[in-house]
């Protein structure tokens, strides 16, 4: 079942390797079906070098395996919480990419220092609060998703399609596997740029709001004019 979506999810996971966003078996990509009944996700701990579409695991929204011989990613409960919380999201990506993870470990949100960031993320990419000891012990992966949803209670997840989970690493999402992976790459690049910017200019201020607005809305919304129709 869902052979086309399995191919898309497998290809998206392999893009993480191509883009240098994962090492070993770290990271995962999932996608949800149009009817939002099933999720396809990378299997847990499988080597990217031997990964195939047939190995992708199909689960329902309760996490019950509908098809697949391998165990789904251990981060599956986080992905499921994000699909519940963000109805427009069709794909979720998690990596431990170096610079974005450094920001998460430093308990830092990622400021918008320039137009590269503003083209994709409308304002800071937030860092979540710490999970409590009880949240970690009770249902760690599910509560990771819940703390992300909590962080976006007053934010638009479509305008800021990514988050830094405190002491953990980045999650991104999008309307397709391709877009969610692209957002993961952009988040990593902008985190790297931000750290270099702070080294060159300690105390640097974020880009002016009017410049952020210009760059975000020329790519997004009813009056966007970047690219081709």
Q: Which residues are catalytic?
A: 119, 226
> In the 8-state DSSP scheme, what is residue 59?
E
DSSP state of 208: P
CB-based contacts of 44: which residues, under 8 Å, 6+ apart? 70, 71, 72, 73, 74
Give the H or E element holding residue 57.
strand 57-60
- Tokens 């975000």 map to which residue? 216
The set of residues, in sequence order, having a beta carbon less than 8 Å from that of 145 and lying 6+ positions away, is 77, 78, 79, 80, 81, 82, 84, 85
Q: How far is CA 26 from CA 46, 47, 95, in A?
A: 9, 9, 7
Query: Do 25 and 14 meet the contact criterion of CB atoms below 8 Å apart?
Result: no
Report the alpha-carbon distance of residue 86 to residue 165 in Å, rounded: 17
DSSP string, 143-160: HHHHHHHHHTTTS-TTTS
Q: How far apart are CA 134 and CA 49, in angstroms?
A: 37
Residue 201's nearest CA partner among 111, 88, 117 is 111
């Amino acid at each position: 079942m869902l052979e086309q979506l399995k191919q898309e999810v497998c290809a998206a996971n392999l893009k993480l390797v191509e883009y240098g966003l994962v090492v070993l078996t770290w990271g995962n990509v999932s996608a949800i079906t149009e009817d939002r009944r099933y999720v396809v996700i990378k299997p847990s701990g499988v080597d990217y070098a031997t990964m195939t579409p047939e190995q992708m695991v199909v689960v329902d929204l309760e996490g019950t395996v509908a098809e697949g011989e391998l165990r789904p990613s251990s981060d599956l409960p986080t992905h499921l919480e994000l699909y519940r919380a963000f109805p427009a999201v069709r794909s979720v990506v998690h990596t431990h990419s170096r610079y974005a993870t450094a920001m998460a470990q430093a308990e830092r949100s990622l400021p918008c220092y320039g137009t590269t960031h503003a083209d994709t993320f409308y304002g800071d990419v937030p860092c979540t609060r710490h999970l409590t000891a009880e949240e970690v012990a009770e249902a760690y992966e599910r509560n990771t998703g819940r703390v992300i949803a909590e962080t976006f209670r007053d934010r638009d997840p479509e305008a800021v399609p990514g988050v830094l989970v405190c002491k953990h690493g980045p999650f991104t999402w999008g309307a397709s596997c391709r877009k969610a992976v692209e957002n993961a790459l952009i988040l990593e690049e902008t985190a790297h740029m931000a750290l270099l910017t702070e080294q060159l200019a300690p105390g640097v201020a974020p880009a002016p709001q009017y410049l952020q607005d210009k760059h975000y809305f020329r790519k997004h919304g009813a009056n966007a004019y970047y690219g081709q129709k």
